[in-house]
Each structure stands twice: as C-alpha cells, then as structure tokens.
Amino acid sequence: MTVNDGTSVSKESNPDYTQAINDGLVVLKNGMKVINSSPHPFVFDDGTTVPSCGISLNCDFVENEATPKDIFSILTFVTVTKMPRAEGIAFLDVVPIGVLVLGSAHAAEAYGFPVVMPVPTPDSKRGSFADRRVCSDRFTVTQTPPVRSGVSLDSL
C-alpha cells in the first residue's frame, strides 16, 4: 500500500496502523517526514502543524530496587526502566523507513529511534504547550537501542 506521500506500507500491517500512518504522515517544509504519536499537536517553526495520528506509543515502567547508602537505609530507592509494549512495536514495524515518529520523552526512551522528541524553539521553551513552537531541524534522540530491527541513526 502507498500512503498519501508515496511512501510504501506493508499490506500485512494492522489496518488501524496503516490508516493512522496514511492520515497522520506530514511532510515538513524541509522535506522531513513525521508522524505524531503524542496526543498533542506540534506546531513547527516553519508553520507546519502536525496533529496526533491517533496511535499513542505507551510504555510500561519497571522498577528495580537500587542499593541505598547507609545513611539512607530507611528509604527505598528505585531505578525505573521504560519498556515498550507489543502494540507500539507493531506500529513502528509498519512506519516507513525515513519517517520520524514524534513522541514523549517516555516513548523515545522506551522505543528508541525513530521515536524522537521535538525540541522547543528558544523563544517558546517556557510557554504553555499550546503556545510552544518546535524546531523543524532539531530532534532529541535517546541512547535506547531501537526496538525496530534494521533502523538506526547510522542506517539512514
């Protein structure tokens, strides 16, 4: 199947995911293709608004106890790992190569690249979410290995 910009999507993919990609894929003015997995729209500095595609990349939080220092022995410290969910991995498996998936910090940490976080413009970092503008040429990536095989920053 071919989505609205000519990008190919697997015929075997979940029809809801295919529809979300078809309806949600936006091309920024610099040519970058993006899909928004956040429930909030992103307004880019080039004037492009990217609405939610309707699919949220959720994750599970797994806590592990950390060993406290003796002076904190009455406290329990935990480390938290964000773990991807099967439905999120299935969605990413049908996102065309070369498309960035806009998501939350939790999603980016759980799923790795191509899930990225838009970077707010310097003049809107402190504003409300509704007033925030994000850069069309800057995205935050995490060090999490990608859950989707064959996709990495090096492979593009």
Q: What is the pTM of this model?
A: 0.81
Is the Cβ–Cβ distance between 107 and 59 less than 8 Å? yes
Assess if residue 51 is contained within a domain. Answer: yes
Residue 73 inside a domain? The answer is: yes
Q: What is the per-residue pLDDT for 60?
A: 95
Residue 43 included in any domain: yes
The verdict on residue 10 lying in a domain is: no
**5 located within any domain:** no
The pLDDT value recorded for residue 2 is 33
Low-confidence ranges of the chain (pLDDT < 70): 1-13, 69, 125, 127-130, 149-156
Confidence at residue 146, expressed as pLDDT on a 0 to 100 scale: 80
The most distant pair of C-alpha atoms in the chain lies apart, rounded to whole Å, by 61
Q: Are 150 and 135 a contacting pair, CB within 8 Å?
A: no
Task: Classify residue 100: in a domain, yes or no.
Answer: yes
Token pair listed for 38: 């956040």
Asked, for residue 6, whether it belongs to a domain, the answer is no
Model confidence over 2-40: pLDDT tens digits?
333 444 444 455 778 989 998 999 999 999 999 999 999
Give the total number of structural domains in the chain: 1
Q: Domain residues for 118?
A: 15-137
Tokens encoding 128: 């409300």
pLDDT score, position 151 = 63
83 within domain boundaries? yes
